[in-house]
Structure 1
Amino acid sequence: MKQMQYAGALSRLIGELARLPGIGSKTAQRLAFYLLNAPPEVAVRLADAIREAREKVRRCSLCGNLTDVDPCPVCTNQNRNNGIICVVQDPRDVVAIEKYRGFKGVYHVLHGALSPLAGVGPEELNIKSLLARLAGGRVQEVILATNPDVEGDATALYLARLIKPLGIKVTRLARGLPVGAHLEYADEVTLGRAIEGRREIE
């Protein structure tokens, strides 16, 4: 069966939407037709929001989380405990833990995990700035909240070997999280129990 051909501009819009993670060709078509049939201001607002995010959102100079003010609101919050740093792989993990509402420390975002096969080594991760934060002597505990999969475990072990000689307590999230799962998909109760049940890495 011959595939229907769309006008050049529409075909390009569908193609660009289909490039987004989790968006297949049928969903891309539905989104494209929705945008074309919606009032013009809907598409304009979406385009403006994308442009503004690309222009203003950057990494926090302290923790590496995505923010439009530097330092980010978490790092500048006087009610947070700067003596406990929770290390995560991705900015989405910060959002997941914040939903729990029980963690009162601060964060450090690595922007990935060690993966030799994919060419991701320590230099590609936000590790140097983490060690710089620990050098001040104010941090009592580092929670390694990397994902419970092969890459996450390898990253946690690598970081633990760097941090423990500094005399800082290093803990890992409890295994209430399913092996191979990502933090962003965990519910608040499971994630909360994992944080509360964290254990020290020997």
Structure 2
Amino acid sequence: MSLTPSVERLTEELTRLPGIGPKSAERITHYLMQARAEDALKLARAIEDVKTNVRLCRECFNLSEGTDICQVCQDARRDQSLLCVVEQPRDLMSLEKTGSFQGVYHVLHGRIAPLEGITPDKLTIGPLVDRVRRGTIKEVIMATNPTLEGDGTALYLSNVLADYDVNVTRLARGLASGTVLEFANREMLADALSGRQKF
């Protein structure tokens, strides 16, 4: 038995979402069909609100709603001389949850990955350099992901920023407190050894 065109269209659109394969899309479609109309429409309205109201902050490129400047950039208590560079807004949110960083951010919206066609000009590197050029930033923390592309992006940015009077640092890596060496993976141990500090 074939599905109706509307059901097929919804299932097809759901498969476009990251991590959603055909079977998951079918399950979600059938869940939405069985849900109360007001619940399904609430989801549709939430998606519409995000697409209509959320924009990128003109300063750091984080997500912002209702204004051109995000909440972090608006916060006068933040240390404007300390800038943390992240790949995506979700990385910024993860750092914010720690409650330990009181500086400001810059969101690249990706990482340099030539094999995927992602070159430096496709990221927000130009505006980052403009922010550093203003002279108010004293330290740039590279908080890109510890992957080949993330490390390459951090290295590229540190070279670009070498001409400016700014201290460029990288997030520490290695063993977390409470980690047992036996269960640490090779990369964690390598990072811990290369990043060792004086006792």
Is this a same-fold pair by TM over 0.5?
yes
Task: State percent identity of aligned pairs.
Answer: 48
After superposition, the C-alpha distances for 1:91-117 in whole angstroms (9 at most, x for unaligned) are 110111111110111100011111222
Report how far residue 11 of structure 1 moved. 1.6
Question: What TM-score, normalized by structure 2, do the two folds share?
Answer: 0.83
Show the counterpart of 1:42: 39
Show the counterpart of 1:73: 71
1:17 and 1:23 in contact (8 A); partners too: yes
Question: What TM-score, normalized by structure 1, do the two folds share?
Answer: 0.82
Show the counterpart of 2:184: none
Three-state SS of the structure 2 residue aligned to 1:112 is coil
1:146 and 1:156 in contact (8 A); partners too: yes
After superposition, the C-alpha distances for 1:117-149 in whole angstroms (9 at most, x for unaligned) are 222222111011111111221111000011111
CA distance in structure 2 between the aligned counterparts of 1:177 and 1:7, rounded to whole angstroms: 53
2:135 maps to a residue whose letter is: G
Show the counterpart of 1:151: 149
Of 50, 53, 57 in structure 2, the residue corresponding to residue 53 of structure 1 is 50
CA distance in structure 2 between the aligned counterparts of 1:28 and 1:117, rounded to whole angstroms: 29
Unaligned runs of 5+ in 2: 177-191
Does residue 30 (structure 1) correspond to residue 27 (structure 2)? The answer is yes
Question: What is the CA RMSD across the aligned residues, in angstroms?
Answer: 2.0
Report how far residue 176 of structure 1 moved. 3.1
Of 111, 114, 138 in structure 2, the residue corresponding to residue 113 of structure 1 is 111
Does residue 10 (structure 1) correspond to residue 7 (structure 2)? The answer is yes
1:148 and 1:177 in contact (8 A); partners too: no
Size of the aligned set, in residue pairs, is 178
CA distance in structure 2 between the aligned counterparts of 1:60 and 1:6, rounded to whole angstroms: 42
Distance 1:96 1:177, change over 3 A: farther
Higher relative contact order (CA 8 A, sep 6+): 1
Report how far residue 165 of structure 1 moved. 2.3
After superposition, the C-alpha distances for 1:11-30 in whole angstroms (9 at most, x for unaligned) are 22111112211112222122
Show the counterpart of 1:184: none
CA distance in structure 2 between the aligned counterparts of 1:98 and 1:77, rounded to whole angstroms: 13
CA distance in structure 2 between the aligned counterparts of 1:142 and 1:62, rounded to whole angstroms: 15
CA distance in structure 1 between the aligned counterparts of 2:2 and 2:23, rounded to whole angstroms: 14
